[in-house]
Chain A
Amino acid sequence: MNQKILLTSKEIATILHRLACQLIEKHLDFSNTILIGIQPRGTFLAERLKQLLEADYQVKNVSLGYLDITFFRDDFRRTQKPLEANQTKIDFLVEGKKVIFIDDVLYTGRSIRSALTAIQSFGRPAEIELLVLIDRRFSRHLPIQPDYRGRQVDAINNQKVIVSWQKNDQEDAVYLVTN
């Protein structure tokens, strides 16, 4: 197994600030905007962005929810993907709101497709945007592209992009792993 570092903790910090600024540019005071972290790994990024927006950019009361897509996947009974669901926690209606999906890695786009279906259970959002830390180029199965991206990477299919977070994995870093 060969492991290469794509982003260091310092680079991630810079990227998070840039993403926060881009979000403010578009959404101003976030009064009609909701951040939705895609379970399981998108939630760490969503929490960090909320923290940053509130602490460093004085945006008050950023709404944050978690969306689990397990029951909305299109590969049920087709792969060995986990059946175990994670918590969905959306304590507000998304009707008429601007929703920003947040995930760590955008790969085939299938998770986001599932999330687009799943969010409908909570109402009809005014618009939906997508923010990802890593955008894997040339690997999409569906016509889905991010509105905000941290870093674009080229990786071939047997390579894996692994995002570590301080809160969960003791460090902020992104690795490219080749088997």
Chain B
Amino acid sequence: MKELSVNHLLGIKYITKHDIDLIFETADQFKEVINRPIKKVPSLRDVTIANIFFENSTRTKLSFELAQKRLSADVISFSAAQSSVKKGETLVDTVNNILAMKVDMVVMRHSYPGAAYFLSQNIKASIVNAGDGAHEHPTQALLDSYSIREKLGDVGGKKVVIVGDILHSRVALSNIYALQMQGAEVKVCGPKTLISKYIESLGVKVEPNLRKALEWCDVANMLRVQNERMDINYFPSTREYAQQYGVDKALLDSLSKEIVIMHPGPINRGVEITSDVADSSQSIILEQVENGVAIRMAVIYLLASKIKQG
């Protein structure tokens, strides 16, 4: 029987190529399910999942909730803004209180790197990391690779450039791990101040020139500038950033080949990409969102199968 090598999804770093393949094969079937007239299967009828979001999220939270409901799981959702966390409760206490209500799985987003790992060491439930600070966002990386596989047939051998705020991005790190594991070549591109100092130790090349980066790649994953994580000014102005690292239609059309444009959202239209690029036929941004539900269904289904009955 094929199954995942892990009991939690804490990051791409902790899983194997075999796990990624199994998740993709399972997601293929769930993608068919979510395009049926009735988009629901009863597999997780007796599983309860808590979504705990200590950080804001629209897409990821909705996508996880939808995936859980499509699998017939019972779902409780919780945002830290309205909780006792504000009253000084610790993370482990908060989660243990939720678990005392008999929850089997916890999906958590937290602003501290390693929060999901910490939780997995301290509580008895299956943990899915929905983003921990600037560390990892594994389901996003999985759905990005899955979307590339769907569009280009395979991830292996493809050239992918990640453009923008690499320093603050958990999407970048998870994507680098995932893409390399599947045999893709990865470069990063952005202002020097927004690229981690030791990024090359991951086997990633830095290309400071956007045009050169785009000429090289098959796929460009455009990241948002994460102003909320910036305590100092990393570049002179948004306008200057957009001029140097923003992709517009003219730039895209002037390239010698047609590349695929991806974006994990939310988009700052006119900064990292212009509206006509985001809405062009080369962009697979909305496909990424659709695939997000299928990937999360696969991850939750495969992890739930490892939770012991009774």
Binding site for B on A (CB under 8 A): 68, 70-73, 76-78, 80-88, 93, 117-118, 120-123
Using a CB-CB cutoff of 8 Å, which residues 270-310 of chain B contact chain A? 301-302, 304-305, 307-309
Measured CA separation A122–B3 after assembly (Å): 29
Interface residue? B232 (CB, 8 A): no
Min CB gap A90→B, angstroms: 8
Instruction: Give every chain B residue within 8 A of A118 (Cβ-Cβ).
Output: 41
Measured CA separation A164–B305 after assembly (Å): 30
Indicate with 1 or 0, residue by residue over B17-34, a CB within 8 angstroms of chain A CB atoms.
000001001101100110
Min CB gap B298→A, angstroms: 9
Instruction: Give every chain B residue within 8 A of A123 (Cβ-Cβ).
Output: 37
Instruction: Evaluate contact between B305 and A83: CB separation under 8 angstroms.
Output: yes
Closest 9 CB pairs of A and B: A71-B41, A85-B29, A121-B38, A71-B43, A77-B309, A121-B36, A76-B43, A83-B305, A84-B2
Min CB gap B221→A, angstroms: 29
CB nearest neighbor in B for A121: B38
Interface residue? B1 (CB, 8 A): yes
Measured CA separation A145–B307 after assembly (Å): 34
Instruction: Give every chain A residue within 8 A of B46 (Cβ-Cβ).
Output: 77
Interface residue? B236 (CB, 8 A): no
Measured CA separation A83–B304 after assembly (Å): 11
Interface residue? B158 (CB, 8 A): no
Chain A facing B: main interface SS: loop
Instruction: Evaluate contact between A71 and B33: CB separation under 8 angstroms.
Output: yes
Binding site for A on B (CB under 8 A): 1-3, 22, 25-26, 28-29, 32-33, 36-44, 46, 71, 301-302, 304-305, 307-309
Measured CA separation A81–B25 after assembly (Å): 17
Instruction: Give every chain B residue within 8 A of A78 (Cβ-Cβ).
Output: 309
Instruction: Evaluate contact between B40 and A121: CB separation under 8 angstroms.
Output: yes
Min CB gap A171→B, angstroms: 27
CB nearest neighbor in A for B25: A84
Min CB gap B71→A, angstroms: 8
Measured CA separation A93–B37 after assembly (Å): 9
Instruction: Give every chain B residue within 8 A of A122 (Cβ-Cβ).
Output: 36-38
Instruction: Evaluate contact between B29 and A83: CB separation under 8 angstroms.
Output: no
Given known A82-B1, A122-B37, contact A77–B32 (CB-CB < 8 A): no
User: Which of A68, A72, A84 has the most chain B CB atoms closer than 10 A to its own CB?
Assistant: A84
Jot down 12 A-B pairs with beta carbons below 8 A, ordered by A.
Answer: A68-B29, A71-B301, A72-B42, A77-B304, A81-B1, A82-B1, A83-B2, A83-B305, A84-B2, A88-B29, A93-B37, A121-B39
Instruction: Evaluate contact between B26 and A83: CB separation under 8 angstroms.
Output: yes
Instruction: Give every chain B residue within 8 A of A73 (Cβ-Cβ).
Output: 43
Instruction: Give every chain A residue within 8 A of B33 (Cβ-Cβ).
Output: 71, 88, 121
CB nearest neighbor in A for B42: A72
Min CB gap A127→B, angstroms: 19
Given known A77-B304, A77-B307, contact A71–B2 (CB-CB < 8 A): no
Min CB gap A175→B, angstroms: 23
Instruction: Evaluate contact between B1 and A80: CB separation under 8 angstroms.
Output: yes
Instruction: Evaluate contact between B302 and A83: CB separation under 8 angstroms.
Output: yes
Instruction: Evaluate contact between A82 and B41: CB separation under 8 angstroms.
Output: no
Instruction: Evaluate contact between B2 and A72: CB separation under 8 angstroms.
Output: no
Min CB gap A149→B, angstroms: 28
Given known A83-B302, A88-B29, contact A72–B37 (CB-CB < 8 A): no
